[in-house]
Amino acid sequence: MATPAEVVTKLIHEFASTDFSRIPDLYAEESVTEVRFYLPSPNQLEGSEGIRRATTTQMDQTNLVNVEVHDLVIHETGPTEVVAEWEYRGFSVATGEAYSIYNAIVTNVVDGKIVSSRDYHNTVALLRNAGRLPELLETLGKPATWDERVNQ
């Protein structure tokens, strides 16, 4: 069975491969993933099925080209807990530009499956790379959206 550090390392490289089909298999059925810096408001994904929905409906796999993992640092902070820091670099089809996205996650892995994860990604950069920055700015400018975000 893979160690927690190996599972997290595989997760990071699976996202870089831009073939997201194997990613849900790394999560336990009852896992909870909190994407704390997601915009316009934090996001929570329930279970491996929530991961599957997010990777098939919210992420455009065709937009990212030549994605590479850089400066990956894995901190084993407990028997099941792993903290990872890294940077993705690649090319965005939507913007026609190279990009860089910094990331950090705090995960718990039990029996070779991620059971919880707190994800901290640069979502402004993610949305910019997807060509969705104008949409984000419009949404954030709406008073109701701001109130919902601040008062969570």
Residue 106's pLDDT band (boundaries 50, 70, 90)? very high
Using the structure block, give the residue that is written with the tokens 């920055």: 133
Q: Of the candidates 44, 51, 37, which has an alpha carbon nearest to the alpha carbon of residue 114?
A: 51
Do β-strands 27-35 and 64-76 pair in parallel, antiparallel, or remain unpaired?
unpaired
CATH code 1.10.10.60 for 4-150: no
- Extents of the domains making up the chain: 4-150
Q: What is the pLDDT of residue 70?
A: 98
- Say how far apart CA 87 and CA 70 lie, in whole Å: 5
Assigned token pair, 44? 């929570």
Q: What pLDDT, in 10s, does the model give residues 16-70?
A: 987 889 999 999 999 999 999 888 788 899 999 999 998 887 666 567 788 999 9
Q: What is the mean pLDDT of the chain?
A: 89
Query: What own/partner pairs with CB < 8 Å and gap ≥ 24 does 108-111 have?
Result: 108/4, 108/80, 108/81, 108/82, 109/3, 109/4, 109/7, 109/8, 109/80, 109/82, 110/28, 110/80, 111/1, 111/28
Average pLDDT, stretch 85-104? Answer: 92
